[in-house]
Amino acid sequence: MIEKTLLITGASRGIGAEIAKLFAQNGYNISFCYKTSEKEAKAIENELLKYNVKVYSQKADLTQSCEIKSFVDNTISKFKKIDVLINNAGVGLQKLFIDCDENDYEYIFNSNIKSMILVTKFVLPNMLKYKKGKIINISSIWGEIGGSCEVLYSASKSACIGFTKALSKEYGLENINVNAISPGFILTDMNNNLSEKEIEDYKNTLSLNKLGTTSDVAELALFLASKKSDYITGQIIGINGGAY
Ligand code: NAP
């Protein structure tokens, strides 16, 4: 069997960890990074190794260009070819726009957008060399419809959508597919500030009347990485239980 490698950012917890596990179960070698959760990352690494795939993990703050470059370079040294890139790492911020300052802007845009742009920039030459690749960016429903008290976060996730669409046009002829997944509410640490009542109220607005899981997102990522999605590019795939 031909080996395939996934490079994913932010897989120590939440959606990223679930994606890494599903891809490992499906035979992918995994390279992932995290910012601070060393213990959680080690536990995920041990779990992935049970699937008899190769695993590389690195502590890398994706707001720092040199740390991104080191992570990507080390991944390429170990695996030679990156078949799938998933730009997953991200942070949220719930605050009235009027109270946000320049530090908040830098925190959100460096974590969510600068990181995505630079990781992609460093990975792309490897995909161009093999004239093949799948890039999957994790946006958000708030980037599509806008979220009150999450103006900077919503703006960063809209930027992800523009980035995805433009990149898909520039590299389509090189056989590189670029798509974004746009999840609605998924229960992870990112949302642990919400009360049970707020979560229940949100659930009741959904057509499917149930919350999405990290596994729902992981299954969609696996599909977008597979041959089955070869004719899909430049798309923003919503996975939100029918939120709008
Ligand atoms: P999470 O549970 O908070 O996990 C975030 C992951 O990103 C962690 O692995 C974290 O590493 C990593 N990370 C954050 N900043 C980083 C940095 N500067 N450098 C390296 N790694 C960094 O979040 P999640 O809910 O799984 O979210 C994953 C993605 O889905 C994000 O892009 C988010 O915006 C998007 N999303 C989430 C939801 C939702 O409802 N949960 C909905 C729509 C979109 P550490 O563990 O080391 O901190």
Q: What is the pLDDT of residues 110-138, one digit of tens each?
A: 999 999 999 999 999 999 999 999 999 99
| pLDDT tens, position by position, 167-205 | 999 999 999 999 999 999 999 999 999 999 999 999 999
Mean pLDDT on 151-169: 99
Tokens of 204: 């009741």
Q: Is the pLDDT of residue 1 over 80?
A: no
Ligand 1 pocket, Cβ-based, cut-off 6 angstroms: 9-16, 33-37, 60-63, 88-91, 111, 138, 140, 183, 185-186, 188-191
Task: Respond yes or no: is residue 171 known to be catalytic.
Answer: no
Q: Which residues pair with 134 in a beta bridge?
A: 84, 177
| pLDDT tens, position by position, 49-95 | 999 999 999 999 999 999 999 999 999 999 999 999 999 999 999 99
Measured on CA atoms in the order 14, 16, 19, 21, is the torsion positive or negative? negative
Domains along the sequence of the chain with CATH? 4-239 (3.40.50.720)
* Alpha carbons 26 and 118: distance in angstroms, whole number: 27
What percentage of the chain exceeds 70 in pLDDT? 100
Q: Atom 46 of ligand 1 has which residue's CA nearest to it?
A: 37
Mean pLDDT on 159-169: 99
Are 181 and 139 spatial neighbours (Cβ–Cβ below 8 Å)? yes
pLDDT of residue 2: 83
194: which residues sit within 8 A by CB, 6+ positions away?
none
Q: Could you say which DSSP state residue 21 is in?
A: H
The identity of residue 36, as a single letter, is: T
